[in-house]
Amino acid sequence: MKYEDFVFKIPVENKYYNEDSLFVTGTIVKILDERKASGDNRIYINTNLKKGLPLENINKIAGPMIEAWAYEVFDDISEDINNEYSLINVEAQERLSMTDVVLQFKKQDRFITGSTDVKATSEDIKSSGKSPNITSFSRIRTAYIDDPDYMFIILSIKYKVYSKKNEATGLFDGIMEIVDYHAYDLKLISEEDISYNPALGTGQIQIKDIHYVTIVNRTAWEFCQLLDKKYLSSSRRSLEQWYAEAVRNKWIKTND
């Protein structure tokens, strides 16, 4: 039994996919650029701590707060039906969903959906969030079979945290400031930038360095093949294990 011997279900995306992907990632960055330029790129954390926040551990709570901030930024824009970004709907996802927020745009006569995974990294902690787990191998591999136009966006947000004394209370307020951000389409990230961690379930797809990513042109089918290659090249995975996943998730055609 060889990988090449199977009859694969080959996803074919629509002809506008690459154009739409650039539109979504570019628009996300434009929205955050506008928010940063207006000075509304800070999260204020009021506490009764006399010495302020424990900055060395702030990354433990930063992720959910950055996700909530990003959701509110996009949601505020979508509430204006005439907004310049053509953002028409924003939906926060449940805790165990593959992504954090779904953005829907209307471009000309078609709708574009970007499922967005928010990743927060600290500017002050060198290794913070540098090589994050993105999603499970089987889950993302199946997503492109179920929907060849599935668009998985990684929104990488870098922040810094500092404390400032509140003159009215005499206490220190924590300030989490968004300082940089990038938006990537997972399907279009170069092979060299993607790694596979066999730990946890069917394994996790990771980005080697989320701050430095190269984008390439690639089809959904080419990405599925790349995912399979990463999986099968692991010393802890076999073709038999891949086949079991392929049958279970209907990646190949069978006689059953």
Task: State how beta strands 87-92 and 101-107 pair.
Answer: antiparallel
pLDDT tens for residues 136-153?
Answer: 999 999 999 999 999 999
Give percent of the chain with pLDDT exceeding 90: 73
Residue 231's pLDDT band (cuts 50, 70, 90): very high
pLDDT tens for residues 71-105?
Answer: 999 999 999 999 999 999 999 998 878 999 999 99
- Note whether residue 9 is domain-resident: no
- Note whether residue 6 is domain-resident: no
- Note whether residue 255 is domain-resident: no
- Note whether residue 2 is domain-resident: no
Question: Higher model confidence: residue 206 or residue 128?
Answer: 206
Q: Is 38 exposed, middle or buried (0-12, 13-18, 19+ CB in 10 A)?
A: exposed
Rounded average pLDDT over 225-248: 96
Residue 125's pLDDT band (cuts 50, 70, 90): low
- Cβ count near 81 (within 10 Å): 7
Question: In the chain, which ranges are E strands?
Answer: 42-45, 87-92, 101-107, 110-122, 133-136, 152-165, 172-185, 194-197, 204-207
Residue 55's pLDDT band (cuts 50, 70, 90): low
Rounded average pLDDT over 53-79: 87
105 contacts 86 by C-beta, under 8 angstroms: yes
What per-residue confidence (pLDDT) applies to 61? 82
Look-up of token digits 């170069």: 190
69 contacts 78 by C-beta, under 8 angstroms: no
**Calpha distance 156→208 (Å, rounded):** 13
Residue 129's pLDDT band (cuts 50, 70, 90): low
Residue 6's pLDDT band (cuts 50, 70, 90): very high
- Note whether residue 10 is domain-resident: no
Q: What is the pTM of this model?
A: 0.92
pLDDT tens for residues 149-200?
Answer: 999 999 999 999 888 877 887 778 888 999 999 999 999 999 999 999 998 8
- Note whether residue 103 is domain-resident: yes
pLDDT over 90 at 131, yes or no:
no
CATH of the domain at 142: 3.40.600
**Lowest-pLDDT range of 15-24, 103-112, 122-131, 153-162:** 122-131
What per-residue confidence (pLDDT) applies to 255? 76
- Structural domain including 61 reads 15-249
What per-residue confidence (pLDDT) applies to 96? 79
SS3 category, 121: strand
What per-residue confidence (pLDDT) applies to 89? 97
Please state the domain count of the chain. Answer: 1
- Note whether residue 125 is domain-resident: yes
**Calpha distance 6→25 (Å, rounded):** 35
Phi and psi (nearest 5°) for 168?
-75, -35
What per-residue confidence (pLDDT) applies to 47? 77
**Lowest-pLDDT range of 30-34, 62-66, 120-124, 207-211:** 120-124
Residue 126's pLDDT band (cuts 50, 70, 90): low
pLDDT over 90 at 25, yes or no:
yes
**Calpha distance 155→149 (Å, rounded):** 19
7 contacts 243 by C-beta, under 8 angstroms: no
What per-residue confidence (pLDDT) applies to 174? 83
- Note whether residue 199 is domain-resident: yes
